[in-house]
Structure 1
């Protein structure tokens, strides 16, 4: 498969073949998928999809490669991960271009989604650090060892809007812990993930240590139910998570789930209004066209500054440059598919019909030169009822709700009045308030006066229906290690 000639500014070569045991694989049993570039609605080519046959092969080759990986000295494994970080750095432009092809994220933001290098350098340092400890045993001279060991082969399932983020936050610590990975990106966004798998082998990781297998639901089900898989890490929506948990229960396979969000963004009267408006526009409808689990889609504003904030916020939203995602000056691109565009527009129509809030800006599909792509205007509803469907259900598109609150207690109550708990955002210049409020918010991450900025040092994951388990930090590494106790009698 060659690159999309309708996007001449892209120098990336696209290949939709699976990557198993160090080689590209075509003619797969799971059929094929025609990948459509959301910027213009034209084909990027054909994607091979893994069926149970390819999943079996990926798991088996992963088991063999994992044994080889663990036969390497810790120094060698560490150095290979650093080599991989260097290789990713040297191909940053290529990966950014592939991200644009994958789901239409503007190239100006695609660079930010390539976190793999940072995570590789961070976690490579853990390879040769102790993962266990010893403990005295009461009344005995026995040696009691508590060790952490890899699961063997882990399955990592990524959503279409963040395959490389998942590669960074999940695949990298899984390798650090000593596992092999069967990595299943979405068929909607496979290109960057497939190239990453290829690069792993190119730098010297054992062939089959990272297998990349885009698949439909049937292939994903085969991966989750496979007896050779020691653990599953899933990032995506709650409905799919329930199916995965049911399937994994067959073999009692443990699952980590990072799910959706309906994040509150609280703007207090003492906030820097200009900065808060810009941040709220970016973290709300602008970044990835609102197609992010971290989207701050519920904006809570203190009554005394409500009108002033709304004016600045709308100005920031309407100033965002919309267009061809390969244009480095563009910050707002298309949504991922035609069906998603229709779904998002139906959410907007329902919100208008039910008077869930007042439509202030946006609400339409964009025509003109962008008509062939899947572009929806950044959309803002004001005076939204927090009990409405608009405020409670994850839209996963460039649609946000603005509502007012009177005092700190009400802000916390409204923010926590959600079945989700992935992120929360607080805008305030009062340090005491920032500490006090953040400790009362029911969210796995709280961001004070800044955007959601995932780092390898910080654990990331949800409360409530936003999932369980963590990526990032030592907690994220421990997700891919299991504990063993060894006791040695000493007489």
Structure 2
């Protein structure tokens, strides 16, 4: 069992309290590594290292093109080590190797894309209405950024948050989930190999109440970027507001996948299954509400059940596995609770509906991929985020009905629309309140496209050109070349 340390100021640093946390392999149900149980003292060490790098070290003097070259070098190293990092993520969170391998092979694109933006951050000269003044704006890095990432795709979230922050000239302290920290601790070693100055990247691990809270409160932290539940996001938002920190939040969802009767039913069925059962449903963009037109509801439900029955549960390292374990024991219990609640509220279970008990599943954290029909929008299973492979089927009559049901939620992260009617795809895309709309596809992401939510699904955007603005401050500069002394110094100029 490997014992890891924090990564602070370019060095591996043991936790100040001498305590470690076991990292559990959710497939085998046993500890396989240890991570530091950090506290406020560790948080201070990491933040002050990042602050010094921002203000005193070579990073502070480095021009944007030099930052970009380091980022490209890091992208090359991620590409070289993608298989190793993917296997570690599978051990840590139980997701499929096929998915983690795809994510890791794709992640270098974020670092290269934002490296390309690093030397294109520009201010503007303003044609000001005041005579004999020259005015312009500067775009400056916001400062030290704390990136708090979730357990379901740790390194993908690191890329989403840190590539933009580093391109902007910020330094970062990453606090991964205590359930899945090892891949981030392995990744950060590559930043040293890439040649980043000490203090630019720092990683500290531990429980949110012990070290996460200290990071949020630290006076030298300028911005918090967080991925996780809306409940935790609201707490972070409130805590950060006490010291006026900038915040961006990528939170939960209850995304509708809307199937019209004119669509390609086979393609839609595949997209719906992918949207809810891929990653064992442990994804914020899970299409957990299926809105299907009543004219095809029975037919389409049967098609989904037959497709769902083909899902193979098992070892996430094997290429033929479709459903892996639930990552954490608390999440496993939560999913089972929601299955019980759905049955109590009158939803009809047509697939799964409980724990998986196959003999070849050693860890005990597997649930059956589950489909409920006869669901109404008022049921908890249709309103609350389950974060597991549980699909709720709700019927609708027409476009207006679908829009009403789709928008009747506190969330607004994503939505899917399945139709051959191009006009309908534009109308629905405009009417649905969500940060991402997929038409005749689902779970597509790119470093080029902004990602984020509306309502309880978050604040701010990651990826795409707009993301770099999350890590910049605009400064306005006024230069007067008027030699005359104002006649009245007591009025605004």
TM-score, normalised to structure 2, is 0.94
- Partner of residue 4 from structure 2, selected from 16, 30, 33: 16
2 CA distance for matches of 1:214 and 1:76? 29
Match of 2:431, SS state, is coil
How far off is 1:321 after superposition? 2.0
Residue 67 of structure 2, aligned match among 54, 70, 77: 77
Give the C-alpha shift of residue 74 in structure 1: 2.2
By how many angstroms is 1:436 displaced? Answer: 0.7
**SS of equivalent residue, structure 2 residue 118:** coil
1:358 pairs with 320, 345, 348, which one? 348
What secondary structure is seen at the aligned counterpart in 2 of 1:439? helix
Aligned partner of residue 457 in structure 1, secondary structure: coil
Q: CA deviation at 1:417?
A: 0.5
- Give the stretch that moved more between structures: 406-415 or 65-74: 65-74
- Partner residue of 1:441? 432
Pairwise CA distance, 1:261 = 0.3
* Aligned match of 1:37: 25
For the 8 Å contact 2:15–2:42, the answer to whether it is kept is no
Identify the residue that residue 237 of structure 2 maps to in structure 1. 245
What pairs up with 1:383-398 in 2 under 5 angstroms? 383-398=374-389
| Distance of aligned partners of 1:421 and 1:30 in 2 relative to their CA distance in 1, 3 Å threshold | farther
CA shift for structure 1 position 139: 3.8
Cα deviation, residue 193, structure 1 = 1.1
Matched residue, 1:258 = 250
Matched, 1:300 2:285: no
1:206 alignment partner in structure 2: 197
* SS of equivalent to 1:333: coil
Q: Which residue of 2 aligns with 1:65?
A: 53
Contact 1:30 1:52 in 2 (8 A): no
User: What residue number does 1:276 align with?
Assistant: 268
Q: Is the 8 A contact 2:29 2:362 kept in 1?
A: no
Q: Does 1:26 align with 2:10?
A: no
Partner of 2:108: 117
Aligned residues: 477
Q: Specify whether residues 27 and 146 from structure 1 end up closer, same or farther in structure 2 by C-alpha distance, changes over 3 A only.
A: closer
Partner of 2:491: none
1:67-117: CA deviations, max 9, x gaps? 421311222111111111111011110111111012000101112332430
Query: 2: CA distance between counterparts of 1:92 and 1:431?
Result: 39
- 1:52 matched to 2:40? The reply is yes
Asked if residue 267 in structure 1 is aligned to residue 259 in structure 2, the reply is yes
Distance 2:398 2:260 in 1: 9
- 1:30, distance to aligned residue in structure 2 (A): 8.0
Matched residue SS, 1:166: helix
* Per-residue deviation, residues 214-246 of structure 1 (Å, max 9, x unmatched): 221221000000000011111111221222122
Deviations 1:393-424 (A, max 9, x none): 00011111011111011001000011100111
Whole-angstrom CA distance in 1 between matches of 2:476 and 2:158: 30
Task: Please say if residues 7 and 13 of structure 2, whose CA atoms lie closer than 8 Å, have aligned partners that are also in contact.
Answer: yes
SS at match of 1:475: helix
Distance 1:30 1:293 in 2: 34
Q: Which runs of 5+ in 1 are unaligned?
A: 3-14
Match of 1:309 among 300, 304, 313: 300
Q: Describe how 1:133-148 pairs up with structure 2 within 5 A.
A: 133-148=124-139
Residues in 2 aligned to 1:27 and 1:269: alpha-carbon distance in whole angstroms: 58
Q: What is the aligned partner in structure 2 of residue 234 from structure 1?
A: 226
Q: Is 1:484 equivalent to 2:472 in the alignment?
A: no
Q: Say which one has the larger Rg.
A: 2
Corresponding residue for 1:6?
none
* C-alpha contact (below 8 Å) 1:109/1:331 kept by paired residues: no
Establish whether residue 171 from structure 1 lines up as the match of residue 162 from structure 2.
yes
> 1:279, CA displacement in angstroms?
0.8
State the partner residue of 1:12: none
Please say if residues 108 and 331 of structure 1, whose CA atoms lie closer than 8 Å, have aligned partners that are also in contact. no
1:324-343: CA deviation from partner (whole Å, max 9, x where unpaired)? 00112212100012222122
Look up the match of 2:336. 345
**Structure 2 CA distance for aligned equivalents of residues 268 and 306 of structure 1:** 10
Distance 1:280 1:145 in 2: 50
Q: Which piece of structure 1 moves more, 167-176 or 157-166? A: 157-166
- Given the two structures, how large is their TM-score scaled by the length of structure 1? 0.95
SS of residue matched to 1:341:
helix
Q: Per-residue deviation at 1:162?
A: 2.1
Residue pair 2:434, 2:454 contacting (<8 A) in 1 also: yes
